[in-house]
Amino acid sequence: MGIAVSRDRPTFAGILLGAASFKPQLALLLPLALSAGRYWKSAAASALTVLALSLTSVIFFGAEVWREFLDSTGFAHQMLDLGLVPYFKMASVFAGMRLCGSALPAAYIAQSIATVLAAGAVVWIWRGPGDLSIKAAAVLAATPLATPFVLDYDLLILAPAIGLLAVKLAETHPLPWEGTVLVLAAALPLVVRPIAEYTHLGVSPVVTAALLAVIARRCRAECFRSEVRLSPGFDPSAS
């Protein structure tokens, strides 16, 4: 919702997006998206909201909670490295690599590549002329690819992306495989854990990447249409 109103009500949008800081690994790409799209008011409001929430927590619970939070990051890293949260419950590239027996360095390298590619896709889409619905879908779809610590239930973040993309596809003539990707993405939160547990295959990154590819394709089509409309020889009455 925050992204949806960022053009008309940028400050309110920033407040909503700043509230996502309660789970920071799922808000990883928001600063990049807002910066790439030049939504500076939303970015500033988001940063101030995070600061206000942090100060409020200090007022009500004391500075000790932040010291404990910072101390817990080391343990969280150990949980990830040692698989204290079973990898079949996770939906990241890192977990998928560990599930299939990859060494820890290889898993981190694969995750780093996925993070860079996901971030690059978001920046490219947000710099383009596509409407906010497709841009919002891009951030939501790229988020599970960008963080190593994403659990299967976090994949519900894909639901709005699927809905927004479905509306876009309904306005045009989608390719058959695009509809298939939407169906697979919708089923993903229900099936990703049992598939990973019994086959040791992390399918979530594959499906999520396919969803992001569909979104990028739609954005590219919109960019092409915008370029055609702006070309000197374009005749609107002929379209």
pLDDT given at position 158:
95
Average pLDDT over residues 62-83: 84
Q: Report whether pLDDT(16) > 90.
A: no
pLDDT given at position 116:
97
pLDDT given at position 172:
80
Residue 6: pLDDT band with limits 50, 70, 90: low
Q: Report whether pLDDT(1) > 50.
A: yes
SS (H, E, C) the chain: CCCCCCCCCHHHHHHHHHHHHHCHHHCCCHHHHHHHCCCHHHHHHHHHHHHHHHHHHHHHHCCHHHHHHHHHHHHHHHHHHHCCCCHHHECCHHHHHHHCCCCHHHHHHHHHHHHHHHHHHHHHHHHCCCCHHHHHHHHHHHHHHHCCCCEHHHHHHHHHHHHHHHHHHHHCCCCHHHHHHHHHHHHHHHHHHHHHHHHCCCCHHHHHHHHHHHHHHHHHHHHHHHHHHHCCCCCHHHC
pLDDT in tens, 35-65: 998 988 888 998 999 999 889 988 998 888 8
pLDDT given at position 239:
44
Beta-bridged to residue 90, according to DSSP, are: 151
8 Å CB contact between 134 and 164: yes
pLDDT given at position 5:
57
**How far is it, in rounded angstroms, from Cα 29 to Cα 60?**
29
Which of these ranges, 28-37, 68-77, 111-120, 198-207, has the smallest mean pLDDT? 68-77
More confident residue, 31 or 174: 31
More confident residue, 197 or 237: 197
Q: Report whether pLDDT(170) > 50.
A: yes
pLDDT given at position 143:
96
More confident residue, 230 or 75: 75
Which tokens in the block code for residue 114? 């996925």
Q: Report whether pLDDT(228) > 60.
A: no
Average pLDDT over residues 191-197: 95
Mean pLDDT rounded to a whole number for the chain:
87
Which of these ranges, 20-24, 63-67, 148-152, has the smallest mean pLDDT? 20-24
What percent of the chain has a predicted confidence (pLDDT) above 70? 90
Residue 169: pLDDT band with limits 50, 70, 90: confident
Using alpha carbons, select from 175, 143, 180 the residue that is nearest to residue 160.
Answer: 143
Which tokens in the block code for residue 40? 């500076």
pLDDT given at position 124:
94
Average pLDDT over residues 190-197: 95
List all residues 6 or more positions away from 110 whose beta carbon is below 8 Å from its beta carbon: 93, 94, 97, 102
